[in-house]
Every structure is written in structure tokens, then in C-alpha cells.
Structure 1
Amino acid sequence: MTRISASNAWLESRRETFDDVVRALAGADSSRILKELDQKTFDLLGAFGRYEGAVSIASRLERLGQLQVAGDLSVAIEPPVGSSSGRKVSGTYYQSPTFQFDQAGDKTNRSPDRGLDEYGPFDVEFFAKKKPRIAVITPRAHKGVVENFLFKFLHGIQGERTFSLGFIRKYHLSGCDVSLHPFDGATTDANAYREACRRALLSGEIDLAIVITSEDQAHLTGDNSPYLVAKSAFMGQGVPVQDVRIETVRLSKLAYPLNSIALACYAKLGGIPFVIAAPRSLTHELVIGIGSAHVKESRLTAPERVVGITTVFSADGNYLLSNTSREADYDDYPRELLRSLTECIDAIKIRNAWQKGDELRLIFHVFKPLKDIEAAAVKELVERLTRTYAKVEFAFVHVSTDHDWVMFDRASAGVNRGASGRAKGHYVPERGRAVPIGQRELLVAVSGPTDLKSALHGAPKPLLLKLHRHSTFTDIEYLGRQAFRFTAMSWRNMYPSRIPVTILYSNLIAELLGQLRHVRNWNADAVATKLRSSRWFL
């Protein structure tokens, strides 16, 4: 153990660190103090408290009259828009999308979970791996509880509607060949994991690896991380990996976690669980997501910015994830974007038999405001495409959660009012509420009252969609509805996400591949070759 002077030690600005300090100082009173602090924080940051506070502050400032800010420039403070009878907020409501479970469009459901239970996955008729070979890597000390977990995963939990069918029946498989590979070592022993993965790869063909990890290794990076070492070993040989923490395995209520794990496993095997029905159009459409992650080799090193790229395309009225998934350094990503996009267009035009007279639309969801030089790089590609196709239009949409806008709904009483009399989501708008704030900007609520974790959850931030001025396709209403549909398309779990999968998947790609760069012998080419049809990043 390393010892340092207390004067040289600093506390990290993390909630768990703050809680530890309160417990150390307050002892038995810490629980009461932390609860009171949570309540005081909610009174400031909850939707109702923030609204009342904003109106109160604005009213006091309004009574002061004109405020001189610079020279002859003065401003007047008014109440928040929509809080007074004279200033209304106009908006619309986006309904949740329809999920589709067959190519003909006859099998649909508003719930992806219920649709899978009723119909099976979208590609049930042409999915090739009907009896996947699954290798399970686990410390020997956990072998028994892991075996029980695997039985529930494969065959379901009787009496639990959420996951009564199990992985095999829910996804219409004929079975699974499961091989357990226990090893001697702790969940923090990266070398033991590496050797166990190597033995599993030598034992025969593998379609999917399930690796049991733990929360104890969450802070480890590079070659010290069993999670990353296992990912590197298997993915380098073209085998996707599903990570499951031992803390999850030990849960008494497993239905919901197993449901999400099964969904991700099927997608990692190359399956298509469901798609979202899209408005049919005469225009071929590609939606490109550009996300990023800050990756650190260790907790004390400076982060590097890595950019991930995903492509979703519309075909026959369905949104489908393309096989193109890349990552690049921040400085190199415009060049990688052009290369990736050109490759994707070439592949899809053959697949969908595009003709010279067809119209093409490119929609970019980006994690930051696009610079003019970046927009110009894509416009160069568009100009090349116009020599082949009758019309090519494009839109650059900055998808942001980092902004100062907040949406309130004074008609929202919240949900699930418990014994305490407090409801979740008081003044929180329903998911799908959209409000334009200009010709090229739109706010969309992506977390409604039912999505909040507790009655003390703060006011959720809406998505801010900003359309770049160089865009030639400028229908912000269409773009808003599309981005909202993509928040429900995740194959990572059964619940909608707070950002579109175009950005979510790109962020996951950037983060995972950025971390794997620091693991020795990592084979990055496997992502573009052997793992091309797998959603390995989920």
C-alpha cells in the first residue's frame, strides 16, 4: 500500500466519494443526513422546484425593470416562456413507434418485448445460427451459481411473464451448445482470464462468449482489466462477447436483466430482433451516426478523444442497422467518415439495386456542432454522388443533451404516488413531447414521468436537435420524429434510450475500441471482417 501525506491527497468529485466522507464524519447519523440532502437537492433540481424557482427569480428581476448590461444596451427579464397567459408554447406529441417482426409488415406490436414473445425475431426465417455455440468463462469459485444462472437464461423463469420463455424459445432457436470454462483465479486476475479465453478458443468453434466479471474490476484499464482482456482475446478471433457481472448473476430477481442480456446476445450473434417501421418514401435514405468517447489509459492519464461511426439505412419501410461500424481518432474522423460512407453506399446500392434516376437522402446525427470544414468534406461526397443519382440531399443534425433548456408541463401530476404522497415526475412532460424553438431547432422530451427512477429524480433534460445551416434537407419536424423513433431502436435492452441509437451505438463503438487499443495483441481488423455482421458493441 502506498502512503502519502494527507496534504497531497484530493477527493474526487464523485457521489460515492462524497457519501463515504459523510459516513466517516457522521457515523450513525449519515443515513438521515444523506436522505435530507437528497430531498434538498430535489427541491432545487426537480421539475416542480426548478419551475417554481425560475418563476420566482424572474418575477423579482422583472420588478426591477430594464437592466443595463453594456453601454446603451439594456435587457428586460420576463417569466419563463409558457408560464404566463400571454406567452404560449406550441408543440406536438410524437407517438411511440411501431415495432415490426417480419419483412411483410404483418407482424407488429407497440412493445418490442411482447412482439418477440408473440412472433419471434424479425429474421426468424433466415437466421442461420439456430444452435449457437456459447463458451462461458467464469472463476471456478462461482461455477455453481453461474450454472443456475445459465439454466434460467436458456430456458426462462417459470412464473415470470417478463422472461418465462428463455433465450432458446423466445428467439426460436433449436438449442444452444454451452461449454463452461472455469478457471482458478479471482475476478480481478486479468492473466487468468486471458489464459481461460485462450483455452476456450482452442477447444473448438465458438459463436458467442459469455464472460463473468465483477464490479471490483470496473476501475481497471488496459492489460489490467479482465473485461478488456477477455474482449480482446475473443473479438480478435471474431467471437462477440457478452459481459455479465457476478453481482447480476446473484440477483434474486433476474427476469429483467436476463431479458436484456438475451436481446443483446441475439444481436451479437448477427440476428435482427426487430425493426422500426418507417414512413415509406420514394427517396433512399441513409442515417449516419457520429459519436465520441473520452478514453483514458489509466485514471491519472490525460484522455484521448475517439470518434465512432454507425450507419442506419431505410429499406422497404424499415430502419436497419448497416454492417459499417468504425472508430477513429478525433483529428482523423472526417476522412474516416468519408471512407466509411462511400463504402456503405457502394454496398447498399448493390444490395437494394439503386438506379441512376433514384433520389438519395443522407442524414447525419453528430455529437457536436459540425464545423464548416467538416460539412464541406461531406458536401464534396454529395457532389460526387449527384453525378450518379438524380437528386442527393443531406441534413446535418447536432443531437445534444448538453444545453441549458428545460421543459415543464404544468398539467403533469406525475405517476405512482406512494405512501409518502409524493409522485414521480410532477411537472415532467410525457416522453415524445416536442417543442420547436426556432426554424432549425427542436426540443424533444425523451424521459417522461414513468421513465424516472424515483420520486426524487431531478428534471430530465430533453434532446436538443439543431440543423446545420448548410443542410439542403430542412424538414425539422421530419428529422425530429425520426430521431425520436431511433431512441426506441436499441437492441441493448427492451427500454427506450435517452439518445438515438445512431449516437448511442457510435459512442459505444468509440468507447470500447478506444479502450481495446491499450490491450496488447488486440486485432482491430476483426471488427471490419469477422465481426462485420455482429453488433459486438452492445
Structure 2
Amino acid sequence: MPVFLSAFPLKIPDTELEARQVPYDKETLDGFRVKHGSTHSFRRQGDNILIFSSDGTFPVSGTPITIPLNENFGIFCSLVKDGLSRHLAGLGRNPLGFNPIELISTKPEDNLLAPILGDAYPFKVCAKYSINTRYVHDHPCLVIDCTTRRVLKENGLFFLNSGFDLMGRYVVTEQEDGYRKLVGSVSAIKGEKLQVTQPDGQVVQADAKDVYLEASRTNFDDYILHTHGAQKDAIVERIRQSVSIFNGGENKKARIDALKNYIQTKAIPLIDGTRIEIEDAPDIQKDCGQMQKPVFVFNDNGEADWAEKGLTQSGPYTKRTFDRNDPSICVICAQHDKGRVEQFVRKLLKGVSSSKYFSNGLEGKFALGTSRVEVFTTATDSVEAYKNAIEAAIRKKADDGGRWDLALVQVRQSFKKLKVTENPYYLGKSLFFLHQVPVQDFTIELLAQSDYSLGYSLNNMALACYAKMGGVPWLLKSSPTLSHELVIGIGSANIGQERGADIQRIMGITTVFSGDGSYIVSNTSKAVVPEAYCEALTSVLAETIEKIQKRMN
């Protein structure tokens, strides 16, 4: 069967371009592009700026140089994208970005929301094309992709007039080139004036008609809820299915080929007039091969090349040695959602009868016995309410002389907007971890899924719960070696209070496994800034390897 990439080889012209070279400075480069971008192309090359002209004139004298394109693939690829951007802009298509170039379709038939919510709906889900260059087998190629993007045309005043609550939502302004720049989050509303708190904490005033809501998934879903109420979930599911069909292989390939054919048939020039030419994608089937599937080891040394099959036939690897059977589980949830959460937890533990892979639930799939569950409710969604419920759960178990085997904590998608100190999600993790209780969070929005979709979500959640309680679902079959192999997981996170504000990157070791996938140590390195990472890494590695030396003799 033929195999094709969406990468189309570029024909490299045997051409030399005259250019001027000046020392690089960001302000200088930005100024050049603003003043002379219509007639010249600019590229940063190391510590210099290269200037290419469409008419043989240059805005500055600079150092004259001659560049053969067949010896400078990077410059050639940059000029190809520059030529395509100019062509699209000349058609009034308003291309966005450069690495890659993005093009949002304006055709009414390319709005996936129109058949569902109508043409007049302020949000749209439009076809989006991206164009970039890549080296494939050391040859420059034009890479084309097609997917979708949420688009929002109406300004903030439209949403104010429709009664949609803008408080706490991020807003953007539209630049001359079509790029939408983040302003901040709405912190107060007075008539048609918005008070917007910027990422640096400064507060600015903006007319609602001059800003746009960010076309985020949160704003998108919330506005559908605002306009369609109880029908929201059904509509979101229809949109998901429509996007899934659009992104199917056959449709995607047809659209990519259509754009490729357009570029092939149009005489789109580089800055000097040389035509951009691309070839059809070659069949790379001869370069492809099928990798052997890994073999997983389960209970009683049962083997399978598919995890679900192995768990069903043999059970988890630690089925006979797992020491938390009949687990004690506490559930933390909002009082007004208690009934729904209890039904959800039952499905997690007992299974979804109609599910292909999760009909037996956590208890049956991982042979846990019968769970003992107790629910602790919060009066509100505040951090203090969650703290009270969690502390009540911890006290209750301490009074009984034991410890919870697992905590299930219900949170909300909206918590993601909160600061760490005000977020019940982080509070729950912190308090339970402090008492050595593994935690599995789930959002209340997850409960709205159909049983079909919920079965897959619960299947993943159950696997995480079993592993967090110390169970080993499976190991990888590996050939014995004289030396021990270690797999060390390294993680990092960007920490910041507000979007767009200064953030700090921290790093640390998260996990250590043996070569067969067996989890070895639970202690992790300190989270440190990159400058201090080398010292922290070597320190924890030394401690870890010393422990493993003693354990494995």
C-alpha cells in the first residue's frame, strides 16, 4: 500500500540572489519590516540581517553579498514562505504567522458550526491550513496541513448586549495584521466600558466594542450554555463529531492536495521573481516498516501484546501481592452534586455494563474486592470549604486508627482559572499527600458524558487509581541483562500566577523505573530553577543509584 507524507519536495532553482547584510538588532529588523516589508524581504541570519529586494534597490547600503540558493537551503525556505505570504496577502486572505503560515478559510461552507448553530452564531469553527518548510531526507519540502480553529468575529459589546457575563474572561485586541493580542482579564464592567487587568497587574479601561473575547474552549462552551441551556451537551457532542469527521484522513488529504495543486498551478514568485515550484509527494512505502509490538507481562506470568487483553485474561501483575484489597475510599464533592457523584463513583468501582472495556469497573478489572466508600461534602466551591471536608475525612480515618487507601476529589473546570492558593485542586493534592493518601481528581463536567464515552474515561481513571495505590498493572517483557537498566523521568513546569506574566521554569526528577517498567523509587528531586538543576540532578541520582545498588545487590 502506498504511503505519502504531506511534505512536497521543493525544486531548488540554480539562482543567485543579491542581498545586503547589516548587523542584527531587533528594533532595526522590526523597523525594516514595517517600513519596507511590501518591497523587501528580511531574514535574521546569526548576528546579521539579510535584506532581499524586489526591484534591486535597498533601504540601506550595507554589505553587498551574493547568495546561491542551492547552497543555502535555510535562506531558500525562508524566501519560499515569504513569497507564499505575499501571494496570499495579495489575494486579501490575511495569512497569519510565519513559522508556520496559517490561513483561516472564509468560505461559508468551511464553517462547521453553520449546519449546527446557523451562520449568524458569533463563534465559528473554520477550516485552517498551515504551511511550513521541513527537511525530509536532507531535501527542503513544503509541508501542508489542514485542521480546524475556533474563530470569533463579534466584539465585546455584542456579548454584553446579549447578557453574557464577561467577568473574569480574557479579552484580546486585533492588530493591523489580523493577529489578536492578549490584553488581560475583565475585572469590572461599567456600562459599555470594561476594566481589564493586564498580566503585569496594571488596570486599563477599554470600550467593549474595541476588544474581542478570546476564542478559547471555555468561552466557547460557556456561550453555548448561555444560548442553548440544557441542549448544550448535545450540541457540543455534535460539534465534536463534525470536527472528527472533518479531520478524517480522506477529507484532510483532499484538502491538502487541493492547496498543493493550487501552488503548483500558480506562478507564485520569490522576492526576485523566481517561480516557486513543488513536486508531488513521493511514495515512501519502501522506507516504512512495522515495529514489533511490546509484550506485556501480567499475573502468573501471563503475556499479551495488548494491555486490555492481558488484564482481562490474566489480571494485573500484582493481583496476588496487592495489599490494599477491599480499599477504604473517601470521596470529596460538592453537597449539591452528591447524588450525581455517588452514581459516578459507583460506575467507577462497579463498571458500565454497556462498555466494551470497562464492564467490571475498578474492583473487577483489578481484583480489588469490595470497596468501602464514604462521602464528605463541601458547602461551597471555596478553598475553605474543601479544606474543611478534607480535614474531616482525614480525622475520621485517624479516629478509626487507619488511613484512606484512595481519595477521589471532585473539582470543576473553572478551577483552572484560579490562583494556586485559591484552587481546591491543589489544596486537595497537598493535604492528602501530606497524609500519604493517593489522590485522583475528576471534574464535575466529566459526569455529563454518555455512558459510551464515560466508559473510556473511567477505564483510564481506574488504571491511574490502581497505580497510585501501589499496584502494578503490567510489566514489559525484557531480555535479562548482566547490568541493570534504569529509566529516569525528568519533568518541568512553568509557574506563573497570570497568563502572559513573567513565569519561572522549574525542573526535577519525577520517576525512576527499571528496564522492564517496574517502578523503583517514590522520592523525587527538589523542584529547582534550571540554573540549579545540574546539582539537584546529580544529588538525587547518587541517592537513587545507591538505594538500587543495595536493593538489587
Range of TM-score over shorter length? 0.5 to 0.7
Equivalent residue, structure 2, for 1:16: 217
Of all paired residues, the percent bearing the same amino acid is: 28
Report if the CA contact (8 A) 2:508-2:537 is conserved: no
Q: Any residues of structure 2 matched to 1:284-363 within 5 Å, and which?
A: 284-299=484-499, 301-315=501-515, 318-323=516-521, 324-326=523-525, 327-353=527-553
**Is 1:206–2:404 an aligned residue pair?**
yes
**Is 1:53–2:259 an aligned residue pair?**
yes
CA positional deviation for 1:67: 9.3
> Match of 2:446, as an amino acid?
T
Equivalent residue, structure 2, for 1:94: 291
Of 461, 466, 473 in structure 2, the residue corresponding to residue 273 of structure 1 is 473
Higher relative contact order (CA 8 A, sep 6+): 1
Distance 1:95 1:54, change over 3 A: farther
Q: Any residues of structure 2 matched to 1:490-505 within 5 Å, and which?
A: none
Report if the CA contact (8 A) 1:134-1:208 is conserved: yes
CA positional deviation for 1:48: 4.6
> Match of 1:176, as an amino acid?
S
> Match of 2:297, as an amino acid?
Q
Number of equivalences = 331
> Match of 1:209, as an amino acid?
A
Distance across 2 between alignment mates of 1:20 and 1:256 = 22
Distance across 2 between alignment mates of 1:352 and 1:217 = 44
**Is 1:236–2:434 an aligned residue pair?**
yes
Q: Deviations over 1:443-494 (max 9, x none)?
A: xxxxxxxxxxxxxxxxxxxxxxxxxxxxxxxxxxxxxxxxxxxxxxxxxxxx
Equivalent residue, structure 2, for 1:129: 324
Distance 1:193 1:300, change over 3 A: farther
> Match of 2:188, as an amino acid?
T
**Is 1:263–2:463 an aligned residue pair?**
yes
Of 213, 216, 223 in structure 1, the residue corresponding to residue 414 of structure 2 is 216
Equivalent residue, structure 1, for 2:358: 163
Provide structure 1 residue ranges, at least 5 long, that are not aligned to the other structure: 354-538
Distance across 2 between alignment mates of 1:56 and 1:283 = 57
Distance 1:336 1:159, change over 3 A: same
Equivalent residue, structure 2, for 1:108: 303
> Match of 2:382, as an amino acid?
D
Of 225, 238, 247 in structure 1, the residue corresponding to residue 423 of structure 2 is 225
Distance across 2 between alignment mates of 1:311 and 1:59 = 53
Distance across 1 between alignment mates of 2:463 and 2:536 = 30
Report if the CA contact (8 A) 2:514-2:520 is conserved: no
Distance 1:277 1:330, change over 3 A: same
Distance 1:287 1:17, change over 3 A: closer
Which of 1 and 2 has greater Rg? Answer: 2
CA positional deviation for 1:284: 2.5
Distance across 2 between alignment mates of 1:160 and 1:38 = 24
Distance 1:313 1:212, change over 3 A: closer
Q: 3-state SS of the aligned residue for 1:49?
A: helix
Q: Deviations over 1:378-412 (max 9, x none)?
A: xxxxxxxxxxxxxxxxxxxxxxxxxxxxxxxxxxx
Q: 3-state SS of the aligned residue for 1:335?
A: helix
Distance 1:120 1:53, change over 3 A: same
Q: Which protein has the bigger strand share? A: 2
Report if the CA contact (8 A) 2:492-2:508 is conserved: yes
Report if the CA contact (8 A) 1:294-1:303 is conserved: yes
Q: Any residues of structure 2 matched to 1:338-487 within 5 Å, and which?
A: 338-353=538-553
Of 389, 394, 406 in structure 2, the residue corresponding to residue 196 of structure 1 is 389
Distance across 1 between alignment mates of 2:271 and 2:248 = 29
Of 438, 444, 447 in structure 2, the residue corresponding to residue 249 of structure 1 is 447
CA positional deviation for 1:225: 0.9
Q: Deviations over 1:401-448 (max 9, x none)?
A: xxxxxxxxxxxxxxxxxxxxxxxxxxxxxxxxxxxxxxxxxxxxxxxx
Q: 3-state SS of the aligned residue for 1:6?
A: strand
Distance 1:321 1:20, change over 3 A: closer
Distance across 2 between alignment mates of 1:18 and 1:43 = 26
Equivalent residue, structure 1, for 2:345: 150
Distance 1:12 1:341, change over 3 A: farther
Query: Cα RMSD between the aligned structures?
Result: 3.9
**Is 1:139–2:334 an aligned residue pair?**
yes
CA positional deviation for 1:20: 8.3
Q: Which moved more, 1:260-269 or 1:109-118?
A: 109-118
Distance across 1 between alignment mates of 2:466 and 2:514 = 21
Provide structure 2 residue ranges, at least 5 long, that are not aligned to the other structure: 1-186, 190-194, 196-204, 229-234, 398-402
